[in-house]
Structure formats: structure tokens, C-alpha cells
């Protein structure tokens, strides 16, 4: 499976086909030594290949020696970044990209990848870095399409789609065991490659305008140290960081999914080191950026991989193919490789996630759609930047206006719940506000506004209690807001109390003057606060909320 995929993804990245094979040898060994997943298969993948092409094409023409050098540097720089992040135990960096943004980016990338390969299906030359440019270029060249290339491409797509969707159930219906049927169905791309080569050779189609892979250098990848060019390295830092983060997010997601099936676990920080080692190995062996791919890893898992040594064995297999099989790939039509890519990326396009986001959260839907549109109509890197900015912006937006509730006591219990959702009782002299978020600079002023609004709405209010069961931290800005609230309520003749404050938060408050100046008290529980403030008068003055 990895041989045709490696060739196809190198084509997608704008690199010679052998580079895909090179990127599937030493990187596998590098990950096997340092990674923690037992089944993750590292190598070229569609999204990273597209991002490599988008980054490298800004500096050189595809296929040129400089272009190949830039691809090596992208692997090296992103690998070093991943290694450093791993040593710093920064696996949490994946959290900066929200799921809607990642889903939107991958869906848009899948569409871009599929459209970019139609030029090979049609047998025409087309260019473009975004959807509009690609479609415009395709339509302008469509009159030059090659009929035989189109036939090979369409038949390959139909066959590969059938293999991916129906082959397993077909083989099971013919008596094969499920595991065997699954493995055989996975080698569909190999069958497509063999049949396509035979078809091209038998009809002499290479002489009729059908583009083939051509001569692939025979032998193991050359070991070399990428040349240092400070200006070029600095220019590639941004692209390398994006490739590193996206690659890590994709890889760790696949690794965690497979580990969960066997009740195993992976270490995200060590995964950074493993993926960094794989990319550095790719840079020194003529490859380009790599990461863990779901399709390959699923095959590895289904085949019974129990240790990272499975990756090492796969690397040996690819090395043997590079040594002995490359002459047989001369007549492999480019259209078949393009069909392999198109069918592979169909699974990336998740339109159902868009519908789910719309019904679940309009904010997440907006973030997803903006990421999709920016990626499609501006470019891949712009889409990633938009996604990162949106992820951070959404976090700040949500936490800057956190959920809060005015609470009352559930009758005949010591529990306190939202007055708008439950049948509770309150005192007209007391306002209890429960804040459901940690307090920090982004929401400190919002807390002030809410408390002032609720506390000053009635002249009967004598006490305000801030209930803090969900407050896990308080920063300096929030502390200043608490001091301002305490002072302003004091001027209005209202006492300010806290209840259910967590230990770490109380420790921080004790290191300030806030508790010394607090007009009220700090209570262990909300029930204790009500009993202390109201005493026996609570039953007489209570109000009902139905």
C-alpha cells in the first residue's frame, strides 16, 4: 500500500516520485526508535504534501533542484521544531487548534487536493494555488485533454472507490474471514498500479501522449546534510511551524485512536520527539515532511502490528522496492497515481461535520466555514493562520463572557441551583451569583458589570455572595476586579462574601490584602453562608422561584 501512496503523494507535493519512497524509509525507523504508538505508520500524507507544495512553490519551480532542497529544509526545520517542543513537554500545543477549525481545514484541503489532481486525470497542464485559480486553469485547458489518459484516470477512480467501499463485504460474502478480507481490500492501489502499467505497455500509450512516471533512480536514498542558508531558513520558519503543528495534530489523533482500541496509551510529548526524529531523518535521506497517516496506520493495525518494529520492517520493504522494483514503475501512468490521491482524500471531506456544527453551535459553525472558505479561496497557509487565530479568538470570546447563574436553595435540601431552571427559594436581602469559569483578565470586567447590575437593582439587597465552585484560578486582573467590587459594594452599603472557594484560589487570595479588606466573610459552603447571614429569619423572608 505504501509504495503507490508514496509515489502519489510525492507527485502531489510537486516532487520526483522517488522522493516519496525516500520519505518512507528512514523516517519509519526514526519514529520506531523514539515514538510511543505501536501501530502508527509514518510517511508522506496528503495534507502535508499539499502544504509542502504550497510553501516550496513560493521560492522555486516544481521539480527543480532548488525546489527539492526547500522540501528537505521544510522537513529538517519542522523536525527540529517538533523535537524542541517535545523536549519542552509542549504536547499541549495541539490544543490551540479547535476541532471545528481542524475539521474545516482538512475538509477544504481534501477538496483542494482532489481538484489539483484533475489535471492529471485529464492529461493537461494546469496550475493554481487556490480553488478559483485551479478551476480557471483547468477550464482553459480542457480542450487539450487526452482521451486515453481520461479513460485510465476514470477507470482507476471507479475501481479504487469500489475497492475502498465494497471490496471487503464482497470478499466476506465469498467466504473470506473479515481480517483477511480487510487486508486484501487494502491492496487495491497495488492492483490498480499493476493493471495500469500492463495496459499502458500493451497498447503503447506512452507514445500516444499518456504521461507516465518515467525513469526512477534505482538505489537507496542519498544521505546528505541540507545546505545552510540563513536567509532561506528564516523565510521557511513560518511554513515549517505550520507543517509541524498540523502534522503533529494529525499524527497524535491517529495514534490515540489506534491505542484506544487496545487499551494502550501514548505520550503526546514523546510523540513530538518521535515525529521530530522522523522528519529529521527524512531531511537527511532525500525525503520531505512526513507524519502519521490514518489509512496506512489502519492497515498496519489490521495486519497485527504489536510493536514499533513493524515500522522498521516496512522500511526494509520500501528499501528493497527502491533497490529492485523501480524499473517496473517506468510505465506507471500519472493518472493512476492521481486517482489514488483523489480516492484517498475523499475520506477527508466531512460534510456531515459542517451540518453537525450548524445544529450544535453557530459559533463553531462560523469558525469552521471561515477556515474552509479561507483555505479554498486564498490558500492553505492562510487557512491555517485563520484557523489558529479563530481558535484563540473563540476561546477568548467564550471565556470573556462566561456562564453565570443567580442561584437559590432547592427546598428541603442544602443544594443551590439556577433560579431560572429550578424550583428554589431565595432571600430578598441576598444575591448569590455562581460564576462557572476561572477569573482572569479577559472576563474580570465582565464579572464587575454583572455583579453591579444584579446587586444594585434593588434597595433591599444587603449581601452579595460570589459562589466559586468552578473557579480554578484567579489572576492579578481578576484580583483587582474583586477588590473594586468589594469597595463599590461597600460604598453602597452592601457586604461582599465568597463561598466554596477552592484551596489553590484561597492560597492566592491569602497572599494579597483582599481578605483583610473584605467586608463580608469566606464560607466553606453556600448553605453555611445562607445560614450564617440569615439565621432563623430565612424561612420567614424567603421568596419562591418556580
Q: What is the pLDDT of residues 531-542, one digit of tens each?
A: 898 876 655 556
pLDDT of residue 348: 79
Top mean pLDDT of 49-63, 237-251, 492-506 is at 492-506
Most confident of 67-76, 308-317, 361-370: 67-76
More confident residue, 362 or 294: 362
DSSP string for 234-294:
HHHHHHHHHHHHHHHHHHHHHHHHHHHHTT----HHHHHHHHHHHHHHHHHTT----EE-H
Q: Give the rounded percent of residues in the chain with a pLDDT score beyond 90.
A: 45
Residue 546 has pLDDT above 60, yes or no: no
Q: What is the mean pLDDT of the chain?
A: 88
Nearest to 388 by CA among 241, 235, 236: 241
Secondary structure of 355-390 in HEC code, one letter for each residue: HHHHHHCHHHHHHHHHHHHHHHHCCHHHHHHHHHHH
Tell me how far the alpha carbon of residue 130 is from its chain's centroid. 21
What is the rounded average pLDDT of the residues 55-71?
Answer: 90
Q: Poorest-confidence range of 256-260, 428-432, 466-470, 529-533?
A: 256-260
Q: What is the mean pLDDT of residues 7-26?
A: 91
Is residue 308 over pLDDT 60?
A: yes
Q: Say whether pLDDT at 298 is over 80.
A: no
The mean per-residue pLDDT over the stretch 197-203 comes to 94
Long-range contacts of 488-492 (CB under 8 A, 24+ apart): 488/452, 489/451, 489/455, 489/464, 489/519, 490/519, 492/455, 492/456
Inform me whether the pLDDT recorded for 361 exceeds 60: yes
Q: Is residue 246 scored above 70 in pLDDT? A: yes
More confident residue, 544 or 298: 298
The closest alpha carbon to 107, from 380, 361, 334, belongs to 380
How much is the pLDDT for 383?
A: 84
Nearest CA to 467 out of 515, 496, 434, 493 is that of: 434
Q: Measured in Å, how far apart are the chain's first and last C-alpha atoms?
A: 64
Overall average pLDDT of the 449-478 stretch: 92
pLDDT at residue 466 above 80? yes
Confidence category of residue 232, pLDDT binned at 50, 70, 90: confident
Range with lowest mean pLDDT among 27-41, 62-76, 136-150, 176-190: 176-190
What does the chain come to in residues? 546
Predicted local distance difference test score (pLDDT) of residue 540: 53
pLDDT band at residue 183 using 50, 70 and 90 as cut-offs = confident
Q: Go through 20-46 and write b for each residue having 16 or more CB atoms within 10 A of its CB, e for each that does not.
A: bbbbbbbbbbbbbebbbbbbbbbbbbb
User: What is the structure's pLDDT at 537?
Assistant: 60
The residues spanned by each domain of the chain are 2-395, 404-545
Q: Span 286-295, mean pLDDT?
A: 88
- Give the pLDDT band of residue 544 (cuts 50, 70, 90): low
Structure confidence at residue 332 (pLDDT): 93
What SS3 class is residue 416?
strand
- Give me the helix-helix angle, 294-302 and 309-324, nearest 10°: 110
Helix, strand, or coil (residue 69): helix
**For the structural domain made of 404-545, what CATH number should be given?**
3.30.750.24
- Three-state SS string over 129-152 comes to CCHHHHHHHHHHHHHHCCHHHHHH
**pLDDT tens for each residue of 485-523:** 999 999 999 999 999 999 999 999 999 999 999 999 999
Is residue 508 within 8 Å of residue 472, measured between CB atoms? no
Neighbouring C-beta atoms of residue 509, cutoff 10 Å: 18
Is residue 447 over pLDDT 60? yes
Q: Across the strands, what pairs with 409?
A: 416, 425
Residue 508 pLDDT: 94
pLDDT at 435 over 90: yes
Confidence of residue 396 (pLDDT cuts 50, 70, 90): confident
Contact 444, 431 (CB under 8 A): no
pLDDT band at 469 (very low <50, low <70, confident <90, very high): very high
Amino acid at each position: 500500500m505504501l509504495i503507490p501512496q508514496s509515489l502519489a503523494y510525492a507527485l502531489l507535493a510537486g516532487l520526483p516520485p522517488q522522493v516519496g519512497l525516500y520519505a518512507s524509509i528512514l523516517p519509519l525507523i526514526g519514529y520506531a526508535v523514539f515514538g510511543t504508538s505501536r501501530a502508527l505508520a509514518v510517511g508522506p500524507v496528503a495534507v502535508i504534501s499539499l502544504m509542502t507544495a504550497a510553501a516550496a512553490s513560493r521560492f522555486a519551480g516544481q521539480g527543480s533542484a532548488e525546489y527539492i532542497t526547500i522540501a528537505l529544509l521544510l522537513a529538517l526545520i519542522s523536525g527540529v521544531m517538533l523535537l524542541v517542543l517535545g523536549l519542552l513537554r509542549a504536547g499541549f500545543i495541539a490544543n490551540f487548534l479547535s476541532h471545528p477549525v481542524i475539521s474545516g481545514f482538512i475538509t477544504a484541503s481534501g477538496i483542494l487536493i482532489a481538484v489539483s489532481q484533475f489535471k492529471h486525470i485529464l492529461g493537461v497542464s494546469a496550475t493554481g494555488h487556490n480553488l478559483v485559480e485551479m478551476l480557471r486553469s483547468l477550464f482553459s485547458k480542457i480542450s487539450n485533454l487526452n482521451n486515453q489518459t481520461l479513460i485510465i484516470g476514470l477507470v482507476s477512480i471507479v475501481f479504487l472507490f469500489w475497492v475502498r467501499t465494497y471490496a471487503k463485504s464482497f470478499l466476506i460474502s465469498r467466504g473470506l474471514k473479515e481480517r483477511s478480507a480487510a487486508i486484501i481490500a487494502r491492496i487495491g492501489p497495488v492492483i490498480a498500479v499493476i493493471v495500469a502499467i500492463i495496459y499502458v505497455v500493451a497498447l503503447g500509450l506512452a507514445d500516444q501522449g499518456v504521461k507516465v512516471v518515467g525513469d526512477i533512480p534505482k538505489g537507496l536514498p542519498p544521505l546528505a546534510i541540507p545546505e545552510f542558508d540563513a536567509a532561506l531558513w528564516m523565510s521557511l520558519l513560518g511554513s515549517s511551524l505550520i507543517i509541524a503543528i498540523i502534522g503533529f495534530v494529525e499524527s497524535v489523533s491517529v495514534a490515540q485512536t489506534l491505542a484506544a482500541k487496545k487499551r494502550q496509551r501514548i505520550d503526546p510529548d514523546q510523540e513530538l520527539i518521535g515525529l521530530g526524529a522522523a522528519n529529521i531523518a527524512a531531511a537527511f535521506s532525500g525525503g520531505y515532511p512526513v507524519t502519521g497517516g490514518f489509512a496506512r496506520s489502519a492497515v498496519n493495525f489490521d495486519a497485527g502490528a504489536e510493536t514499533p518494529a513493524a515500522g522498521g520492517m516496512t522500511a526494509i520493504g520500501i528499501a528493497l522496492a527502491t533497490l529492485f522494483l523501480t524499473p517496473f514503475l517506468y510505465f506507471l501512468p500519472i493518472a493512476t497515481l492521481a486517482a489514488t490521491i483523489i480516492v484517498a482524500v475523499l475520506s477527508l471531506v466531512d460534510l456531515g461535520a459542517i451540518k453537525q456544527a450548524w445544529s450544535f453551535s453557530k459559533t463553531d459553525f462560523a469558525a469552521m466555514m471561515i477556515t474552509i472558505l479561507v483555505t479554498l479561496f486564498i490558500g492553505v497557509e492562510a487557512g491555517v493562520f485563520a484557523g489558529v487565530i479563530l481558535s484563540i479568538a473563540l476561546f477568548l470570546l467564550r471565556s470573556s463572557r462566561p456562564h453565570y447563574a443567580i442561584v437559590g436553595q432547592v427546598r428541603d435540601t442544602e443544594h443551590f441551583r439556577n433560579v431560572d431552571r429550578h424550583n428554589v427559594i431565595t432571600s430578598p436581602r441576598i444575591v448569590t451569583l455562581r460564576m462557572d469559569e476561572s477569573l482572569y483578565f479577559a472576563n474580570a470586567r465582565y464579572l464587575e458589570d454583572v455583579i453591579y447590575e444584579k446587586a444594585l437593582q434593588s434597595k433591599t439587597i444587603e449581601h452579595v455572595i460570589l459562589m466559586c465552585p468552578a473557579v480554578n484560578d484567579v489572576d492579578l486582573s481578576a484580583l483587582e476586579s474583586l477588590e473594586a467590587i468589594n469597595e463599590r459594594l461597600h460604598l453602597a452599603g452592601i457586604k461582599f462574601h465568597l463561598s466554596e472557594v477552592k484551596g489553590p484560589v484561597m492560597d492566592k487570595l491569602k497572599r494579597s490584602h483582599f481578605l483583610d479588606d473584605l467586608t463580608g466573610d469566606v464560607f466553606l459552603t453556600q448553605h453555611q453562608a445562607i445560614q450564617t447571614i440569615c439565621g432563623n429569619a430565612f424561612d420567614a423572608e424567603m421568596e419562591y422561584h418556580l
